[in-house]
Every structure is written in structure tokens, then in C-alpha cells.
Amino acid sequence: MRIIAGSRKGARIFAPKGTETRPTGDRVREAAFNLLGPGAPEGAKVVDLFAGSGAMGLEALSRGADSVTFVESDRDACRTINRNLDKLGLQGATVLCQDALTALRADARQGTRYDLVLVDPPYRRFSSLQNALIQYLPEILEPGGLLLVESASSDEPELPLPKLKSRRYGTARLTLFERDE
């Protein structure tokens, strides 16, 4: 795996060992940032939920995001994110080694908002998580902010936000939502 674009373009990144984490591949990550549009996520405050290796958030930092909060419950994956941040020398990162729904609840209670929310739960858990995600995701998204959900290609995420695009890439589906101004 490598960083696709930005200040760390071409840099190789580590992935957690084992089968518990499914890092977003280079081609799907490139497609994701193409869906976000030119200039995204420059200057953005980003949260990477179910971060895994941190590949999506690392890509956002490389492309000019001001800050990224990585949220991942697996301790080995958290160590991998920190290892990748050290290797790449990226600033503006916070790694929260906790359950994504716990972090979402806390952000919603505190009124924390993000310009870009990246959501990539384990594919097999997406349908069971969707109702909880519906409850919190609109609350933590800035007006005009973007939400990108990666799911299995057979799953079509439904959230109470305007859907801009939904595209399939092999076994993955990328769905882009926007919060109205």
C-alpha cells in the first residue's frame, strides 16, 4: 500500500497484520478522493472512523487536510496508524483507540463537527451499524460537509443526508453524501 497523492505521494505505508483489518486498496482510495473532487480535503477537519491502517486519513493529511482524527478499536491497528504517522512525519493527527460509536456519541454531545467524515466499517457489520450511524453522523458533519461511506458493493447506504454519488469498485461501494448548508 502507498500514498496516492499529495506531499507524501508514493510513500509506502504499513497495514496491520492478520485478517481483522481490511485496508482500503490504492485504487479504491484514489477513486474515493476523485469522488470528493479537486482540492478536497485541503484545509479540512477530518475524522476517519473504523480507520484500520489509517490509509484514508493518511491520504487526507498528505492531500492537505488540517487535521485528521483516526478512530479505531483494534489496538494493533492503532499501533500501525501511529507507526505510519511516524514514518510519514505527518502533523495534525489524533489517534483514538476506541469504538467508533463511542467516539461519535462523544463528538455529538460535545458539538464537535468535521468538514469530511470517512466511514469504512467491516463490510459484514455495516447493516447492523447503519441505524446507529444514522443517529450521529448528521450531527458531527459541518453544513456543506462531505461524508464518504465505503461498504460492500452489494450494500447501498441510506442516511438522512442528500446522496451525491454512489459507485461500485470491485467488491467495494463508495457513497458520497453532503450535509445541506
Cα 145 to Cα 40, 113, 142, distances in angstroms: 11, 9, 5
pLDDT score recorded for residue 7: 96
What range does the domain containing 96 cover? 27-178
Mean model confidence pLDDT for the chain: 93
Pick the residue with more confidence: 180 or 82?
Answer: 82
Is 100 among the domain residues? Answer: yes
Quick one: pLDDT band at residue 21, thresholds 50, 70, 90?
low
Is 13 among the domain residues? Answer: no
Instruction: Spell out the alpha helix ranges (H) of the chain.
Output: 26-36, 55-62, 75-88, 100-110, 126-140
pLDDT score recorded for residue 16: 84
Provide the sign of the torsion angle of the four alpha carbons 25, 31, 34, 40, taken in this order.
negative
155-173 average pLDDT score: 94
C-beta separation of 48 from 58 below 8 A:
no
Is 8 among the domain residues? Answer: no
pLDDT tens, residue by residue, 101-125: 999 999 999 999 999 999 999 888 8
Its pTM stands at 0.94
pLDDT score recorded for residue 126: 87
Cell of 78: 492503532
How many separate domains does the chain show? 1
158-169 average pLDDT score: 95
Is 19 among the domain residues? Answer: no
Is 9 among the domain residues? Answer: no
CATH number at residue 71: 3.40.50.150
pLDDT score recorded for residue 127: 85
133-160 average pLDDT score: 94
